Amino acid sequence: MGPLAIWKRNRRRTRRSPLVNQLLRSPGESLRKEIEEINFDLAALIVYTPLIVVVVFASHISASYLGGQPETLLRYLLSSALGVGVLIYGFIKISGLVRRRANLQIGYEGELAVAQELSQLMRSGALVFHDVPGEGFNIDHVVVSPYGAYAIETKARTKPMRDMGKDDAKVVFDGKALTFPTWQETDPLDQAARQARWLSKWLTAAVGEQVEVRGGLALPGWFVDRTGRAEVAVFNPKSTQFLLKGWLREPMPETLIKRIAHQLDQRCRDVEPALYGKNNRIGN
């Protein structure tokens, strides 16, 4: 054990965190954790891939000069094939992880951008929660105002580089599909609708009173041309004030909003402080 590790261990015995509760989930919490795991796997591959190749050739040389095995063409080809195979495997795995991390990073930054815009709604009394855990999925953002609640999915789609100006940054929503400059999608709409239905069902059961939730789809960086209507609101996060108006004719009672806030807080407050958390208190 090195000096730094000993210092950290001793410090944990004499210090404890000022944080006594778990933290709320941050925007993109699930993506952040996945990116951290990929970074760890990348570091391991970058270190161990060339190390294994060195071990292969070191074993070959040791067997030849220390073990007395004859240096045959077959042994040389087998060792070379094994070493090259390890390099190719490592390169393929690293390339795949790098691409995966790049896609996750785009999604993570998109969720951060949307969260920063949604946080402005809190000035007007709205409640905003991020990365709300569901049953095998997560809802990127939940906004609750007196006139309605929204379960919002974020999709950070990259733009084509065709030098067509605004046309390359416009998506047409006809109420059934999203038409981007070079492709069309419907899955994000279905996903947002499913998540809204799940959240409505869960909140209704949790608070003991019917809670209606509508789906929202945020497309950061895209101009949304709406030519039709649907149960899912598709929008650029720069325009979020409509979320405050909701759709309810009468505002929800304050007591109901407090119960909704409590349930969402309990569900989202599961992040353990990294340093001197509950598992690192005095005596542990």
pLDDT, tens digit, for every residue of 249-261? 899 999 999 999 9
Tens-digit pLDDT profile for residues 195-251: 999 999 999 999 999 999 999 999 999 999 999 889 899 999 999 999 999 989 899
Judged against a pLDDT cut of 50, whether residue 283 lies above it is answered with: no
Q: Is 35 exposed, middle or buried (0-12, 13-18, 19+ CB in 10 A)?
A: middle
Question: What pLDDT is stored for residue 65 in this prediction?
Answer: 80
Average pLDDT in the chain: 90
pTM of the model: 0.84
Question: What pLDDT is stored for residue 12 in this prediction?
Answer: 59
Question: What pLDDT is stored for residue 20 in this prediction?
Answer: 76
Question: What pLDDT is stored for residue 160 in this prediction?
Answer: 83
Tens-digit pLDDT profile for residues 134-189: 999 999 999 999 999 999 999 999 988 776 667 788 999 999 999 999 999 999 99
Residue with tokens 């991020």: 130
Question: What pLDDT is stored for residue 284 in this prediction?
Answer: 41
Contacts by residues 272-278 (CB-CB < 8 Å, ≥ 24 positions apart):
272/22, 272/23, 273/17, 273/19, 273/22, 273/23, 275/17, 276/12, 276/15, 276/16, 276/17, 277/17, 277/19, 278/22
Of the listed ranges 95-99, 138-142, 174-178, 273-277, the least confidently predicted one is 273-277
